[in-house]
């Protein structure tokens, strides 16, 4: 049996925060605003898995009002979502994710992001696709106001 899920996550770029995407800290003058480490890519991936399992959204499991999740490492959160998926008897067939960010360039970081996601989800790296695109100076991405990440995932029964 297959299950499919999809999600998008948006975070504002601001001064005074680290830019963390895919579990990789990226050198940049601004970072993402959020209760946790604000890793939009990992949030989109985790929530797409929750959606495929009909378990609701990230806020249901990791509320931004809970002090224990303040500045939380999103790789930990993704590992917790993996446990939920595993408990229901599913595994990753494949996932395809997209980061929309004007700059910095993501290409130098994609391989490490894929490694991090594959490790957290106990799957092969060839089951994890991560791509990036720019806003071409249009919209909130193009104006460098924020980052949008999207993911679609296909789960398969073990």
**Per the annotation, does 138 bind a ligand?**
no
Q: Please provide residue 107's backbone torsions phi and psi, each rounded to the nearest 5 degrees.
A: -50, -45
Nearest to 35 by CA among 76, 71, 89, 88: 71
**Per the annotation, does 104 bind a ligand?**
yes
Digits of tens for pLDDT over the chain (158 positions)? 999 999 999 999 999 999 999 999 999 999 999 999 999 999 999 999 999 999 999 989 998 888 887 878 999 999 999 999 999 999 999 999 999 999 999 999 999 999 999 999 999 999 999 999 999 999 999 999 999 999 999 999 99
**Per the annotation, does 59 bind a ligand?**
yes
Query: Which helix or strand (DSSP H or E) is residue 31 part of?
Result: strand 30-32
**Per the annotation, does 43 bind a ligand?**
yes
**Per the annotation, does 68 bind a ligand?**
no
104: cis peptide before it, omega within 30°? yes
- In this prediction, residue 146 carries a pLDDT of 97
Assess contact for 145 and 75: CB atoms under 8 A.
no
- In this prediction, residue 47 carries a pLDDT of 98
Q: Which tokens sit at 70? A: 């303040």
**Are β-strands 90-100 and 146-157 bridged in parallel, bridged antiparallel, or unpaired?**
antiparallel
- Rounded CA gap, 53 and 2, in Å? 10
Class for the domain spanning 2-157: alpha beta
- In this prediction, residue 75 carries a pLDDT of 97
- In this prediction, residue 107 carries a pLDDT of 97
**Per the annotation, does 84 bind a ligand?**
no
**Per the annotation, does 63 bind a ligand?**
no
**Per the annotation, does 109 bind a ligand?**
no
**Per the annotation, does 145 bind a ligand?**
no
CA-based Rg of the chain, rounded to a whole angstrom?
A: 15
**Per the annotation, does 39 bind a ligand?**
no
**Per the annotation, does 110 bind a ligand?**
no
**Per the annotation, does 58 bind a ligand?**
yes
- In this prediction, residue 68 carries a pLDDT of 84
| Predicted TM-score of the model (pTM) | 0.97
């Amino acid at each position: 049996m297959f299950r499919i899920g999809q999600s998008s996550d948006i975070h504002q770029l601001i001064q005074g925060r680290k830019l963390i995407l895919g579990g990789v800290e990226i050198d940049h003058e601004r970072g993402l605003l959020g209760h946790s480490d604000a890793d939009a890519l990992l949030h989109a991936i985790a929530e797409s898995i929750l959606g495929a399992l009909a378990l609701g959204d990230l806020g249901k499991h990791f509320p931004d009002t809970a002090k224990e999740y303040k500045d939380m490492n999103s790789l930990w959160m993704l590992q917790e979502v993996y446990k939920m998926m595993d408990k229901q008897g599913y595994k990753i067939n494949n996932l395809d994710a997209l980061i929309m960010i004007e700059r910095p360039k993501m290409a130098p970081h994609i391989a490490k992001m894929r490694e991090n996601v594959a490790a957290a989800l106990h799957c092969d790296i060839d089951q994890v696709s991560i791509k990036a695109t720019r806003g071409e100076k249009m919209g909130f991405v193009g104006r460098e106001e924020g980052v949008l990440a999207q993911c679609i995932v296909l789960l398969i029964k073990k």
